[in-house]
Amino acid sequence: MRLVDGANAIRGDLPSSSTHVVDVPLEAGDARGTGIQRFGSLAMVRERMLATLSEIPDAAITIGGDCGVELAAVEHALARNPETAVLWFDAHPDLHSPTTSSSGAFTGQVLRALTGDGLPGLVPDSPLDPARIILVGARSIDSAEEDFIAEHGVASLGLASAESLVAAVRASGATSVYLHIDVDVLDPSEFAGKSDPVPWGLTVAQLIELIGAVKAEFGFAGAGITEFAPSSPDAATDDLPTLLRVIGALAR
230 pLDDT above the threshold of 80: yes
Q: Does domain 2-15+29-251 fall into CATH 3.40.800.10?
A: yes
Report the distance separating Cα 59 and Cα 121, nearest Å: 24
Tens digit of each residue's pLDDT (9 = 90 or more) over 117-174? 999 999 999 999 999 999 999 999 999 999 999 999 999 999 989 999 999 999 999 9
Predicted model pTM: 0.96
Residue 183 carries which DSSP code?
A: G
What confidence tens digit (pLDDT) does each residue in 98-133 have? 999 999 899 999 999 999 999 999 999 999 999 999
What integer pLDDT is reported at residue 127 of this predicted model?
96
C-alpha 117/C-alpha 87 separation (Å) is: 19
What single DSSP character describes residue 68? G
